[in-house]
Amino acid sequence: MEIAILAVGRMKAGPESDLFTRYLERSRKAGGKLGLKGFSVHEVPESRAGRAAERLAQEEGALIGRLPPVGRTTCLDAAGELIDSEGFAEGLRSDAAAGVPRSVFVIGGADGLGGKALSLADRRLSFGRMTLPHQLVRILVAEQLYRAVTMLSGHPYHRG
């Protein structure tokens, strides 16, 4: 199963980008043995519109245009489901076992995700009820992907 992150905006060079890249590289290396591959990142530009509603609509349109026609779509949303790392890993495992060809994790911009994008999601996940910077959410998704891969392969990284 291919894994991808679809996000609004670019990750700027610096320690955050380095950490994000490190987790994705680790996932790529360890995921192949489990049939998990890709761990790619696709970015759409941040809107420069003055009003939040316009920004949200423009970014949402760009995200929806990049969604693959087949696979699992998971939107990161503050109002989404709260799960633990074991549940996250189990979701990847069961999707791969069911033959889902790809799993895409969608991260909105500073204004979040619009209703249309959220309605297309197979699942909505939250990393908590606090507002988090969308760049930090990318790092959290990458780390949880790596954690899931290590859990599924029996590696001792996860000690939760």
Residue 130 near residue 86 (C-beta atoms within 8 A)? no
- Please check the confidence at residue 158 and state whether its pLDDT lies above 70: no
Calpha distance 61→18 (Å, rounded): 29
Please, what is the Cα angle at 57 between 111 and 124, to 5 degrees? 60
The pLDDT of residue 25 is 95
What share of the chain has pLDDT > 70, as a percent? 98
The packing angle between helices 85-97 and 134-153, to 10°, is 70
- Residue boundaries of the structural domains of the chain: 2-153
Instruction: Name the residue among 130, 148, 40, 30 with its Cα closest to residue 93.
Output: 148
The CATH architecture of the domain made up of 2-153 is: 3-Layer(aba) Sandwich (3.40)
Q: Write the pLDDT tens digit of every residue in 92-146.
A: 999 999 999 999 999 999 899 999 999 999 999 999 988 888 889 999 999 999 9
pLDDT at 143: 97
Tell which residue, 22, 124, 28, has the closest CA to residue 76: 124
Chain-centroid distance, C-alpha 114: 16
Q: Which residues pair with 73 in a beta bridge?
A: 104
At 27-46, the pLDDT tens digits run: 999 998 899 999 999 999 99
Q: How much of the chain, in percent, has pLDDT values that exceed 90?
A: 83
Query: Using an 8 Å Cβ cutoff, are 149 and 96 in contact?
Result: no
